[in-house]
């Protein structure tokens, strides 16, 4: 359904038929804004944010469906021969196909855990405000807005790209309507645009994070208290750490890189580093006499980078929190831990240029080799694919 438009000429709409919850027109035709109490305005804002949380959850489901189709196809389809020359190989046996698909499977789980966490948080806040059992600060609301803006943008972008790549991974079968992929792809492609274009949403995230950066760099100790419990709280320590010019994080071998705690530390340092770079660039432009709008426009590419970096931290954090929640045991827990590591490792592998002074060259090489080690645990990934549906 398109938004459409309606043009009226010489038509009078009775006041009782106008939606006037937040603003109104009086009997003299004068526009008036209604001053809402703090709780009402926050609840209305939270309701709007829930739509973006639902989009994050939808990204998980749609990407999981595409992964299920493509991974199952790859297990059935055979091409080429094994080393004996007698038995044909499943195309899922090719490392390139595993690398192509299992990263998206890991992402679908990361999206699921993040979407679930943030939706539960929104509902808890809403209930608390209505029952008057919980107070919510402007910083907390701003933090939620920043998280949902970046998660909506990141997850829907990756899901749209992932569905298309899953389709391509199925060869000619993926082009057929019978595969289910063309309909899934075309149905999903609206999501990077609805509820805010993804390129625009990164600016919403950056505004909140730059406000926090300014508070920390100004020496405002209240930031540690006011932002406690917020998704962006890790920046408080991260920015202070960056001021001390920390050495590269050591990774001694590929096996050492397969660690969610280590990967989370790496991603957080990257996020803090890019935020400082953006803030410094904007301040330098303003010091040179440029207008804020001009400096902001020149910084948009960097702003998108900090938004994506923050999203990766939130997704990895949600994945790690789930692993520590004791909801799974045995082989299921092993499979989830492998996928969590694969998600983090592939973020570092894909954006290796961002980590050139967070990891040394040997560390980045170990990350690349660690990806291959995780991919070798193929049976876990395939069973995890079945679990998603």
Closest CA to 272 of 298, 297, 240, 230: 240
Cα gap 226→143, rounded to integer Å? 11
CA 55 and chain centroid, separation: 11
What are the residues whose beta carbons fall under 8 Å from the beta carbon of 366, sequence distance 6 or more? 251, 252, 253, 254, 256, 257
In eight-state DSSP terms, residue 14 is P
Long-range contacts of 193-198 (CB under 8 A, 24+ apart): 194/55, 195/51, 195/52, 195/55, 195/152, 196/52, 196/149, 196/152, 196/153, 198/152, 198/153, 198/154, 198/156, 198/157
Structure tokens at 22: 């937040």
Which of 126, 195, 381, 382 is labelled catalytic?
195
Q: Which residue carries 């000619």 as its tokens?
A: 172
- Is the distance from CB of 388 to CB of 278 less than 8 angstroms? no
Angle at 72 between CA 71 and CA 74, to 5 degrees: 65
Query: Is residue 195 among the annotated active site residues?
Result: yes
Q: Which residue carries 């995230």 as its tokens?
A: 205
| Helix or strand holding residue 230 (H, E) | none
Q: Which residues are catalytic?
A: 195
């Amino acid at each position: 359904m398109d938004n459409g438009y309606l043009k009226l000429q010489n038509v009078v709409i009775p006041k009782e038929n106008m939606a006037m919850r937040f603003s109104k027109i009086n009997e003299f035709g004068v526009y008036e804004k209604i001053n809402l109490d703090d709780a009402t305005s926050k609840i209305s804002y939270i309701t709007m944010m829930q739509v973006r949380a639902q989009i994050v959850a939808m990204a998980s489901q749609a990407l999981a469906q595409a992964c299920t189709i493509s991974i199952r196809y790859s297990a059935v389809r055979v091409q080429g021969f094994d080393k004996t020359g007698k038995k044909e190989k499943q195309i899922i046996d090719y490392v390139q196909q595993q690398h192509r698909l299992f990263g998206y499977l890991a992402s679908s789980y990361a999206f699921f855990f993040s979407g679930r966490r943030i939706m539960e948080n929104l509902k808890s806040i809403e209930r608390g405000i209505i029952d008057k059992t919980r107070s919510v600060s402007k910083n907390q609301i701003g933090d939620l807005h920043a998280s949902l803006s970046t998660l909506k943008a990141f997850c829907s972008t990756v899901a749209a790209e992932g569905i298309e790549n899953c389709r391509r991974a199925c060869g000619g079968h993926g082009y057929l309507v019978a595969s289910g992929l063309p309909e899934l792809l075309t149905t999903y492609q609206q999501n990077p645009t609805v509820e805010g274009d993804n390129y625009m949403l990164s600016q919403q995230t950056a505004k909140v994070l730059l406000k926090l950066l300014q508070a920390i760099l100004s020496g405002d100790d209240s930031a540690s208290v006011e932002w406690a419990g917020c998704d962006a709280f890790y920046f408080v320590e991260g920015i202070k750490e960056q001021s001390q010019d920390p050495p590269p994080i050591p990774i001694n071998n590929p096996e050492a890189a397969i660690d969610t705690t280590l990967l989370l530390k790496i991603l957080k340092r990257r996020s803090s580093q890019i935020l400082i770079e953006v803030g410094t660039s904007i301040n330098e432009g303003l010091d040179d006499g440029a207008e804020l709008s001009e400096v902001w426009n020149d910084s948009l590419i960097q702003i998108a980078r900090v938004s994506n970096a923050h999203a990766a931290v939130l997704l990895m954090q949600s994945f790690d929190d789930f692993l520590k929640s004791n909801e799974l045991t045995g082989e299921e827990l092993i499979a989830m831990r492998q996928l969590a590591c694969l998600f983090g490792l592939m973020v570092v592998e894909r954006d290796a240029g961002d980590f050139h002074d967070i990891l040394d060259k040997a560390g980045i090489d170990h990350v690349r080799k660690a990806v291959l080690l995780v991919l070798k645990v193929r049976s876990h990934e395939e069973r995890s694919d079945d679990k998603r549906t």
